Amino acid sequence: MGFKTHVARKVGAMFGVLFITMLLTIILIGANMDSVLKQGVVFQVRSELASDSHIAASFSDHAEFEEYIQTRIVEREKALGLDKAWNSPQRIGYAMYRIITLDFGQAVFLTSDAGSSNVLDILAEKLPRTMLLFTSSTGIIAVIGILIGASSAAKVGSTKDKLTSAFAVVSSSFPVWWIGMLMIFFFAFVLRIFPARATPDISPGDPGYLLSLAYHMVLPLVTIVLIGFGAWSYFVRNFMVGAMQDEHILAKKTIGIPKRKIVYSHALRNAAPPIITILALSVSGSLGGAIITEAVFDWPGMGRLYFEAITVTDLPVIIGATYTLTVFFLASILVADLLYGYFDPRVRRS
């Protein structure tokens, strides 16, 4: 199979999974979504009419005014298609079209820092902050893990190798939220070096916001790296040990090539496909796990937004966040799959 055909098949599979995921999401929350939208219509119509005193004054009694309000509500619901059942093909097809075209509608309760209730505006504000924290931490974890893992693989059975394996087991045994709470207690309340909340105290429009955001990001960043690099080192160490048993690597040892060059040049290159796969999965997995981590540190990103949306049942935001995280997860899997196929042609042939 050629590489272009391999890419086309993987992209097609990605869109298929994305379509099925969003269809299941709509089916699962469709009835509740209708209820929320109808409540929103009632709130909007009453708010609009209440803000215009001339309309209320034009009616002779309250019953006539209420009948006018109900008529407006019915018209608004009909315009939005809410007069049809939520599981009708027209409604589901229209909902899928709106999601695919990134039209997530208006949030019911939540707003962006700028005050917009448009779900796309809210996601566009939160997503870069999550990527800043978790992409940075994943990059640092990968670099530290590769260096320590490769070094341990070069000296299998040494004290350094044993400490690397032991630290991987210990660090993987603790959840990020628990270590996060310990870090907050020690560095924020005992030493008073970093703030307990990762949300800056100044508004995003302030000139010093980015600097403040970077300062508030230090504690969650250090915590995520501390928890993550041990397992990464262990994975890389095992990949490298396997790669160093290949025949051509053993042949290079016999002809006297320095061991350092064999480890960091030839063996590391052979172990690249699984390491790239783990890196891609780590990026997508970290975004999914951001819900708990951001809630603990109060980081103003996608995870905290997801947590708040679930708490107040803001369904448009939940759908938008689910779509965004699913796209990122599938995109990272696709990149990992393509890179694996590029480095190892046997994957494409299979």
Task: Identify whether the C-beta of residue 127 lies closer than 8 Å to the C-beta of residue 302.
Answer: yes
Distance CA 38, CA 108 (A): 11
Instruction: Report the candidate in 278, 270, 269 with the shortest Cα–Cα distance to residue 246.
Output: 270
Residue 336, pLDDT score: 74
Nearest to 304 by CA among 289, 315, 314, 294: 294
Amino acid at 174: F
Closest CA to 324 of 122, 186, 169: 122
* Spacing of C-alpha 25 from chain mean position: 17
170 CB neighbour count, 10 Å cutoff: 10
Instruction: Tell me the per-residue pLDDT of 146-184, one tens digit each, with 9 for 90 and over.
Output: 889 888 888 888 888 888 888 888 887 888 888 888 999
pLDDT at 4: 73
**What gap in Å lies between CA 25 and CA 99, rounded to an integer?**
11
The closest of 50, 38, 110, 22 to 74, measured between CA atoms, is 38
In this predicted structure, what is the pLDDT of residue 31? Answer: 67
Low-confidence ranges of the chain (pLDDT < 70): 1-3, 30-31, 56, 284-290, 340-350
Predicted TM-score of the model (pTM): 0.72
**Confidence at residue 300, expressed as pLDDT on a 0 to 100 scale:** 85
d(CA 45, CA 33): 18
Q: What's the confidence (pLDDT) of residue 240?
A: 83
